[in-house]
Amino acid sequence: MAAADDVVELNLDQENICKVNLHGATLTSWLCDGTEMLFVSQQAVFNNVKAIRGGIPIVYPHFGPWELGPQHGFARISRWTLEKPPAKDGDTVSATFLLQDNENTRQMWQDNRFNLFYTVIIGKRQLKLKLDVRNEGNDSFEFTTLLHTYFKTLDVNKVTISGLKSLKYIDKVRQSKKFVEENDLVTVKEFVDRLYIGSVDRNEVTNLNGNQNVVMTRVNLPDVVVWNPWQEKAKVMSDFGDEEYKEMICVEAGYVAKPRSLSAGARFEASVVLDVI
Ligand SMILES: O=P(O)(O)OC[C@H]1O[C@H](O)[C@H](O)[C@@H](O)[C@@H]1O
């Protein structure tokens, strides 16, 4: 369990609440009309050191194994600050979190200076997530970023994902070779780790918890990663139950297929909207 003072709650009403852990600004719960939409492992570790296994960890400034630092970058294992506490505005509640460069990140990542603002907005049957990266230094830098969304489902076998047909994808399970997706609806029946390149901006993920479907709309996040560790990988992950692969599917919106360059003083804004339909 996370310590209470690590968690910021955005409370629209009793049945529509989301929780953000300041460790990584990881969204660890999204209650939509009383149904939990996000998967968090029973084995997840809340020690403010390890990345939280589940919810929506933020990948930045690097997706995947990184020669300069930890896998998926430092954002998901850094302590964020609460820049704007939860406030109600009409039918939504929003809060903004901030990660700034510090001695540790500068040492790891070529002395780059940045502000990364993350705004979470919960509405009725909707969650909106906004990333805003600002280059505060005198030199340009490159980064990749992704919202590593773990959706909760009662049965991963029934989940379908639309919007990927005809796209090229890198299949990390098959020596990172490139393939073209042939299916209108992607289903997951085995260990899957794919990076779909340059997808249309809308994907529908069906049969999530409570038989809910979610439409994911992306702005400035052209790529989609689909991941499920299945039985074989689940067994070797210490913070993931052996059978939990049945209860989750990661559909991750990112800018990851190629790095984004940001010149000195420039800004990169991107967002994901999750609508429960
Ligand atoms: O175990 P983690 O570092 O959290 O990474 C979990 C997974 O994240 C992404 O989905 C990657 O595509 C996978 O290759 C990776 O295994």
Q: Which of 225, 233, 236 to mutate to test the pocket of ligand 1 (most atoms within 8 A of CB)?
A: 225
If you average pLDDT over residues 70-91, what whole number do you get? 97
List 148, 181, 244, 247, catalytic entry = 148
Question: Which residues lie below 8 Å from residue 237, measured CB to CB, with a gap of 6+?
Answer: 53, 229
Q: Is 71 annotated as a binding residue?
A: yes
- CATH architecture, domain defined by 4-154+196-276: Distorted Sandwich (2.70)
Catalytic-residue membership of 148: yes
> What residue type is 141 in one-letter code?
F
Residues forming beta bridges with residue 205, ordered by sequence position: 161, 214
What residue's CA is closest to ligand 1, atom 9?
227
Band the pLDDT of 1: cuts 50, 70, 90. confident
Distance CA 130, CA 120 (A): 7
Find out whether the beta carbon of 227 lies less than 6 Å from any atom of ligand 1: yes
CA distance 129 to 126: 10
Sign, Cα dihedral of 211, 7, 104, 240:
negative
Hey, is 157 helix, strand or coil? helix
Query: Could you tell me the pTM of the whole model?
Result: 0.98
* Interval 81-100 mean pLDDT: 97
In the chain, what is the straight-line distance between the N-terminal and C-terminal CA atoms, in Å?
Answer: 30
Measured in angstroms, how far is the CA atom of residue 116 from the centroid of ligand 1? 22
Distance 236 CA to ligand 1 centre (A): 13
CA 243, 244, 249, 253 torsion-angle sign: negative
pLDDT digits (tens, 9 = 90+) for 25-64: 999 999 999 999 999 999 999 999 999 999 999 999 999 9
252 is catalytic: yes
pLDDT digits (tens, 9 = 90+) for 190-233: 999 999 999 789 999 999 999 999 999 999 999 999 999 999 89
Predicted local distance difference test score (pLDDT) of residue 199: 79
Q: What is the mean pLDDT of the chain?
A: 97
Give the pLDDT of residue 4.
76
Determine if the peptide bond prior to 61 is cis (ω within 30°). Answer: yes
The ipTM is: 0.98
Q: What is the mean pLDDT of residues 80-84?
A: 98
Pairing of strands 114-123, 141-147: unpaired
User: What are the structural domain ranges in the chain?
Assistant: 4-154+196-276
